[in-house]
């Protein structure tokens, strides 16, 4: 089994097993603060199209839907999590899917959010590339991730494969901001507190990816 399939398999197994009681698990309790801050930072307007990548049991996208009259979507790699979402939020469109291949048309979304998902992906750059593709030229990307000091992060990265929870490498502040810059996102806000780091940005208005993958000027 290749490394990509391992991360995916272990993530699905883990989150299927805790989907029903996610809010009371260590993961659920930890990410609650992240989601509360993301809700504050997201300025979606009525009528916007909004996607939560790695939506879990739908807590964040459900709160965003209550905050503004948006057309809301959620995808998650765990079928059991998506089942939980569908049982809770009948007015939101949910589907099983990967953050590295988003099932949306080019320039179709106003906001993409993701909370503590990047460190589960085999190649986070694929997520940023996909987010840029599906966002409208005026779109917003909000990414929350766990931050740990260098030494602790190094130990986590070294031993996380042993736990078979689908974790890949955690993100330093520099690495996370660098992924925004590498994919032509302009960083418009950074929030850091304790183990929480959230970066908000938009697609650089003069750069879009053409369909052949080359950088092209926005018309």
Q: What is the pLDDT of residue 12?
A: 92
Range 83-92 average pLDDT: 97
- Would you state the pLDDT for residue 109? 98
What is the three-state SS of 93-129? EEEECECCECCCCCCCEEEEEEECCHHHCCCHHHHHH
Average confidence score pLDDT of the chain: 86
Tokens 């699905």 map to which residue?
A: 12
Residue 184 has pLDDT above 60, yes or no: yes
Report how far residue 93's alpha carbon sits from residue 103's, in angstroms, rounded to the nearest whole number.
Answer: 12
What is the CATH architecture assignment of 3-217? 3-Layer(aba) Sandwich (3.40)
Evaluate if residue 213 carries a pLDDT over 50.
no
Measured from the Cβ of residue 15, the count of other Cβ atoms closer than 10 Å reads: 25
Neighbours of 6 (CB within 10 A): 15
What band does 166 get if pLDDT is binned at 50, 70 and 90? very low
Q: Residues for the chain: how many in total?
A: 219
pLDDT > 90: percent of the chain: 73
Contact in structure between 187 and 201 (CB atoms under 8 Å): yes
Q: List beta partners, residue 101.
A: 98
pLDDT score, position 219? 31
Backbone phi and psi for residue 54, each to the nearest 5 degrees, phi listed first: 75, 50
- Judge whether residue 194 has pLDDT over 70: yes
Supply 97's token pair: 């899917």
pLDDT at 54 over 80: yes
How far apart CA 187 and CA 197 sit, in angstroms, is 13
pLDDT digits (tens, 9 = 90+) for 119-137: 889 899 999 999 999 999 9
């Amino acid at each position: 089994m290749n490394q990509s399939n391992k991360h995916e398999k272990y993530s699905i197994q883990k989150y299927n097993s805790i989907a029903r009681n996610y809010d009371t698990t260590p993961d659920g309790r930890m990410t609650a603060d992240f989601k509360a801050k993301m809700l504050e930072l997201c300025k979606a307007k009525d009528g916007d199209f909004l996607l939560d990548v790695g939506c879990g049991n739908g807590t964040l996208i459900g709160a965003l839907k209550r905050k503004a009259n948006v057309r809301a979507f959620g995808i998650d790699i765990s079928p059991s999590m998506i089942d939980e979402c569908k049982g809770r939020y009948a007015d939101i469109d949910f589907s099983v899917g990967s953050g590295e291949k988003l099932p949306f048309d080019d320039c179709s979304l106003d906001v993409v959010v993701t909370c503590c998902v990047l460190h589960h992906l085999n190649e986070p750059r694929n997520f940023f590339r996909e987010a840029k593709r599906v966002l409208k030229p005026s779109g917003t990307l909000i990414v929350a991730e766990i931050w740990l000091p260098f030494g602790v992060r190094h130990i986590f990265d070294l031993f996380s494969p042993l736990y078979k929870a689908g974790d890949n490498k955690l993100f330093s502040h520099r690495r996370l901001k660098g992924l925004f810059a590498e994919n032509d996102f302009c960083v418009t806000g950074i929030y850091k507190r304790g183990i929480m780091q959230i970066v908000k940005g938009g697609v650089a208005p003069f750069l879009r990816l053409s369909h052949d993958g080359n950088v092209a000027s926005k018309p």
